[in-house]
Structure 1
């Protein structure tokens, strides 16, 4: 009961091919690969943006809270 025989897997494969067609499966995999690549690129862009963010102020100037933090409270 825990494992499937080769006949079970063949039936599943036939059903999947009937539902999606022969050309649709590679197209779906290509779209998934593009999505993964764009996700990785977005993550790398976020890391670069965090690294380049700096805050400049003078020592005699008091630090003021940003507007974002003031509106969240």
Structure 2
């Protein structure tokens, strides 16, 4: 069962009435900060993995033997 726009609007109104505008606003601000911190952590982790892979990369091309 999917939620339509009217159901979502009703839930939003109920949350606003129960918690008040100030509390909902501060909660959304904290959610935004959390999302930003998560994205930064993922980016930093990816960069660290790439740096580690680059520093441990070795040349694996086979050496050619002299044909003398």
TM-score by length of 2: 0.57
TM-superposed CA distance for 1:18, in Å, is 3.0
After superposition, where does 1:1-73 map in structure 2 within 5 Å? 9=9, 13=13, 15-53=14-52, 54-55=55-56
* Displacement over 4 Å in runs of 4+: 2-5, 9-12
Query: What RMSD, in angstroms, separates the aligned Cα atoms of the two structures?
Result: 3.1
Q: Which has the higher contact order (CA 8 A, sep 6+)?
A: 2
> Which protein is richer in helix relative to its size?
2
Tell me the matched-pair count. 52
Uncovered stretches (5+) of structure 2, i.e. residues with no partner: 59-68
The 1:29/1:3 distance shift into structure 2, 3 A limit, reads: closer
